[in-house]
Amino acid sequence: MMRLIRANIEIDVENAATAEKLMKSGFEPLEGVTKVAPSDSDKTKKNLDEMTVEELKAIAKEKGLSGVSALAKKDLLEILKE
């Protein structure tokens, strides 16, 4: 995502073609401002506490972890948050 500014108007642009068009009309890139959208792994970390043990085990298996079938929720959370 890119943030552009002209006078006191700031616009967040996700598309390079749109950014180019706006820059031709007088907008300039705003220096020092970067926005990072949360990644899927960040979203997963936020929701781990709400998941069931079975869901946590499935995620652990997807990540290639073995021996998770005997773990408690607390242990699974600890491993997956690393």
Locate the domains of the chain by residue range. Answer: 1-37, 40-80
pTM of the model: 0.45
**Whole-number pLDDT of residue 33:** 53
Q: Is residue 44 scored above 80 in pLDDT?
A: no
* Three state DSSP letters for the chain: CEEEEECCEEEEECCHHHHHHHHHCCCEECCCCCCCCCCHHHHHHHHHHHCCHHHHHHHHHHCCCCCCCCCCHHHHHHHHCC
The confidence score (pLDDT) of residue 41 equals: 54
Comparing 44 with 77, the larger pLDDT belongs to: 77
